[in-house]
Chains A and B, each alone.
Chain A
């Protein structure tokens, strides 16, 4: 009887072996993939870029180029040291930019008090502009975080494929509407 089945449908007869050997898997949305996706969103975000430029401009205006350059160098060092953390937790960028702003002001308070005292209204306006820029940057980073979150998620790989479905080896698949 089995021989007759073999002759009748040889392709179907061999399916079980094929299914058991198939190791296709739906890739999980890795942290790395999400970080890349967030960066892509930020790269295309004009508002984010303009806000960053405004922060830099306001800091140069408020405390001078040297102060801004020194603070930016510190921020760059931090970003280099905590690159992995920044990829998984994008809010680190917000706090780093805030730290750059505060360090720039600290530099100006410590080394250029006379300059600050001479142009108080301009300094206040530049500080307000810088903080407005930081708030905007924080909002845009959060937006990128939300936009780049994974559409769906699959379960851990499952060694058993129920039925004849050969699409992948997962017990549960979930994605957001």
Chain B
């Protein structure tokens, strides 16, 4: 990726200083013109500063035009509170004079806040045809999107009347995934007595089931399900394997996230509770995935936008969930979430966990067979340290 500057900015190094030095120069020139007797002294006194300033300014302007971005090294995704290293590679294709004292910085912003100009990093000397790096450590605490750019590179030689800045307008987006809590080991208790243990009544697979793997034969298994190829391959002639089938539409449990603003507290308290709930949900899904459970995640994103994700215990699907979680806001409606909860309870029985933003469990939820976790419950299952 090679990017040339989209525009150049020229600023006086010091307007007052330039006016002052200019006035002194004019005064010295006038004085020299009225009494031109030691001509060599006057010419030298006037020519030196003029040539010095002109040369330094010319070099600054000339070298800034030779700069270009060779590469911007940053991750596509990062985790909140995790941080990443940003590396900007600048190349200089001028051959007239080496670029001296290049300063580079970048703009960092999210949807709400921004650092208009990050800290300047210096590249002391860059010869023609060479490249060099400027590096920063960036830590994003807020989940969502982090925009990096535009980048700026500035040159200001001592004595130059102008500070020349090359602006590269390209903006890079980094998805900031929610940080995940480190859950206490007893988080498994959320599942105890809640998971429906269904017996298998049919001995042969039904039409909705799919082959999921093979296991050793247990007494009672249908002989029709014996996996002949695997059984013949086994060394022990008495060792048999059977094929296993599972209904792909059946999930082990469901997690419903509350996205409706609670009635108590102010907006910052609501936002804080949502952040905490999202991170808790992410951690919970990872914990259940480690136990090979399939989780159905449901939440309301907007007025007519309900997100329903089936998260199997695969890294790719957990990543997909976290990307979705990084974009969720307080866009839910209490009635819609109530209806969603009812639907999930009908579907899953008691294997539903509702992560609520309300400080107390609502009366209508108390009648449902769900585990309701209020913001007060979340710290019980969570370590102080945040997993990175």
Of the candidates B42, B115, B156, B386, which one forms a contact with A164 in the assembled complex, judged by CB atoms under 8 Å apart? Answer: B386
Give CA–CA (A146, B104) in the complex, Å.
12
In the complex, the chain A residue whose C-beta lies closest to that of B133 is A177
The answer to whether residues A106 and B268 also contact, given A155-B113, A165-B386 and a CB cut-off of 8 A, is: no
Q: Count residues of B near A (Cβ-Cβ below 8 Å).
A: 81
Contacts of B85 in A (CB 8 A): 177
Tell whether, in the assembled complex, residue A174 and residue B13 are in contact, meaning their CB atoms are under 8 Å apart: no
A5 at the A/B interface (Cβ < 8 Å)? yes
Of the candidates A110, A138, A151, A161, which one forms a contact with B119 in the assembled complex, judged by CB atoms under 8 Å apart? Answer: A151
Known: A155-B114, A172-B109. 16 other contacts (CB 8 A): A12-B379, A93-B17, A95-B16, A96-B21, A98-B21, A106-B27, A127-B48, A131-B48, A138-B159, A149-B119, A151-B119, A158-B112, A158-B141, A163-B81, A163-B275, A164-B382
Stretch from B29-37, B198-206, B221-229, B338-346 that touches the partner: B29-37
Contacts of B40 in A (CB 8 A): 120, 124
A45 at the A/B interface (Cβ < 8 Å)? no
Contacts of A139 in B (CB 8 A): 158
In the complex, the chain B residue whose C-beta lies closest to that of A17 is B269
B122 at the A/B interface (Cβ < 8 Å)? yes
Interface, chain A (partner B; CB < 8 A): 2, 5, 8-9, 12-13, 15-16, 19-20, 78, 82, 85, 89, 91-96, 98-103, 105-107, 109-110, 113-114, 116-117, 120, 123-124, 127-128, 131, 134-135, 138-139, 141-142, 146, 149-156, 158-165, 170-177
Tell whether, in the assembled complex, residue A109 and residue B121 are in contact, meaning their CB atoms are under 8 Å apart: no
Tell whether, in the assembled complex, residue B16 and residue A102 are in contact, meaning their CB atoms are under 8 Å apart: no
24 pairs of residues in contact across A and B, judged by CB atoms under 8 Å:
A92-B14, A94-B14, A94-B159, A96-B21, A101-B24, A101-B49, A102-B24, A105-B31, A120-B40, A151-B119, A153-B115, A154-B115, A156-B113, A160-B271, A162-B141, A162-B142, A162-B279, A163-B181, A163-B279, A164-B386, A171-B113, A172-B115, A175-B119, A176-B134
Of the candidates A2, A5, A138, which one forms a contact with B158 in the assembled complex, judged by CB atoms under 8 Å apart? Answer: A138
Contacts of B45 in A (CB 8 A): 102, 105, 109, 127
The answer to whether residues A176 and B20 also contact, given A123-B38, A160-B272 and a CB cut-off of 8 A, is: no
Q: Smallest distance from the beta carbon of B45 to chain A beta carbons, Å?
A: 5
Q: Smallest distance from the beta carbon of A144 to chain B beta carbons, Å?
A: 11
Tell whether, in the assembled complex, residue B136 and residue A174 are in contact, meaning their CB atoms are under 8 Å apart: yes
Give CA–CA (A138, B111) in the complex, Å.
41
Contacts of B136 in A (CB 8 A): 174-177
**3 A-B pairs with least C-beta separation:** A95-B17, A102-B24, A138-B158
Tell whether, in the assembled complex, residue B119 and residue A152 are in contact, meaning their CB atoms are under 8 Å apart: yes
The answer to whether residues A163 and B21 also contact, given A13-B376, A113-B37 and a CB cut-off of 8 A, is: no
In the complex, the chain A residue whose C-beta lies closest to that of B272 is A160
Tell whether, in the assembled complex, residue B101 and residue A146 are in contact, meaning their CB atoms are under 8 Å apart: yes
B171 at the A/B interface (Cβ < 8 Å)? no
Contacts of A93 in B (CB 8 A): 17
